Chains A and B, each alone.
Chain A
């Protein structure tokens, strides 16, 4: 028994001695380790905020920040360094972005990425000095749009995060989400599932139509308003289009399909020449041509226009598939359809598109027998 007790005492004593020794060593080394680590961490932070001093890691769990934000360091003069993880062509792009107290980007750098083209290495420099208001004006890099767009959006998220952390509020919803929320507010019965309706009938003052997938109704956009309108709904629901047999007419060879709506309007589907093709040709040897359609009144006025498919240069000509471009033709007729804003940097794509729209007017004239 005595031996047993002695063993326990010896072991306990040794444990205690070792623990004491360790805590002494820890007291000696812990400050140095901490200093080293914060110096190493600060070094990375200083790259994106050269003027910054004394960063502290924030607890962001109580804020609703953009989903890409993973870490935030608060800087002593009121700025923030935000670490974000986003995806360009592949996942795992880690970006660090500094935002000063005035909400201006002080620097952005990519810490890790799996991108192939390397645009992320220097793109951050372009965002320096931007604020929430003008971050969208930073151009993406042609042929590396996905990477640079993701990068720009990450910087924007960092700016938004800084606003939120500073006590402000930011609408973090994407355009699609905003549209969905607006539609649901007007027609909750649709449970958020809507399909845009291509306007083949003239609807006074309406710029867009959304049909509920479950048949519970139709929402109309009039200016900035979203409204229900029973009379117009009847038009939309009752509208039918039927494909026309155009073999009796001599239409331009780029016209692929013509439909006639129950209201007597034409829906013309046509190919347009893209980048590299100018003049009369409508095809693009390097890929698929642009395909678009427009609904036109018998009098030759465009009701609605949209791009169905395109394979233009990513980030330049591809903007022809953007509603902000093609909806410019809505309400235009033969006299004024050329007065639209061209896509910047893609004159040839714009010209090809305009030529195709011009041929739609010709087609309608032939079909109406007035040509």
Chain B
């Protein structure tokens, strides 16, 4: 029971309170770059969730059973980023071959994920926070869902921005960032909710 509670709090904590994009600033590049259209935002979000889950499922055992055992903890960053890059390539090949329809909709986002710092960030954070395997998977799922949520919400905001007249130098990135700031402010309201829900 306690364990379930903990898992739920990890899940909702990483979706709402510690949202990777809006409060930890991980994965800001794709957040700003690919959130222009709702379908793009959703595609990217789903691809990120998938890669995060697979990457965690692979990197956690590597850390626990290889790096920790051999005293090679300092290889963490290199191994993790290589694993993520390889996974992304592999996923793309597999999708292309076996599920072409899915590849058609998600394929374009996959290469962009390699250097998405949210993916590397979540795998490293899971280790730093001392999560066990299940907790790590749940935390990755939460971070991925949080990323998707932020992307989808923000694409809605941006479609409204496009319809407004904006001063010349504010056009483009500056106004996008300022809008992101307000969305982030909205997520502020979630602070404390998760802890109190489970009290």
Contact = CB atoms under 8 A, between A and B. Distances in A.
Contacts of A23: 74
B36 to A, nearest CB: 35
Contacts of B78: 15, 18-19, 22
B43 to A, nearest CB: 30
Contacts of B1: none
Interface in B150-191: none
Contacts of B74: 22-23, 25-26
Nearest to B73: A26
A298 to B, nearest CB: 54
A53 B60 CA distance: 37
Nearest to B74: A26
B75 interface: yes
A348 B107 CA distance: 82
A22 B78 CA distance: 10
Nearest to A25: B74
Interface in B117-163: none
A18 B75 CA distance: 10
Interface in B67-84: 74-75, 78
A145 to B, nearest CB: 24
Nearest to A19: B75
A19 B77 CA distance: 12
Contacts of A25: 74
Contacts of B75: 19, 22
B62 to A, nearest CB: 15
A15 B75 CA distance: 11
A26 B77 CA distance: 14
Interface string A6-19: 00000000010011
Contacts of A26: 74
Nearest to B82: A15
Interface in B36-93: 74-75, 78
Interface in A262-290: none
Contacts of A18: 78
Interface in A1-38: 15, 18-19, 22-23, 25-26
A26 B78 CA distance: 14
Nearest to A30: B74
A18 B78 CA distance: 9
Nearest to A29: B74
Contacts of A22: 74-75, 78
A25 B78 CA distance: 15
A26 to B, nearest CB: 5
A22 B74 CA distance: 8
Nearest to B77: A22
B93 to A, nearest CB: 16
Interface in A195-215: none
A61 B33 CA distance: 50
A14 B113 CA distance: 23
A45 B7 CA distance: 33
A25 B75 CA distance: 12
A351 B74 CA distance: 71
A33 to B, nearest CB: 10
A22 B82 CA distance: 16
A18 B74 CA distance: 12
Contacts of A19: 75, 78
A137 B169 CA distance: 74
B108 to A, nearest CB: 25
A26 B75 CA distance: 10
B79 to A, nearest CB: 10
A22 B75 CA distance: 8
A224 B16 CA distance: 59
Listed residue (A15, A22, A25) with the most chain B CB atoms within 10 angstroms of its CB: A22
Given A19-B75, A19-B78, A26-B74, 7 more contacts: A15-B78, A18-B78, A22-B74, A22-B75, A22-B78, A23-B74, A25-B74
10 contacts: A15-B78, A18-B78, A19-B75, A19-B78, A22-B74, A22-B75, A22-B78, A23-B74, A25-B74, A26-B74
| Pairs A-B, 4 closest by C-beta atoms | A26-B74, A22-B74, A22-B75, A18-B78
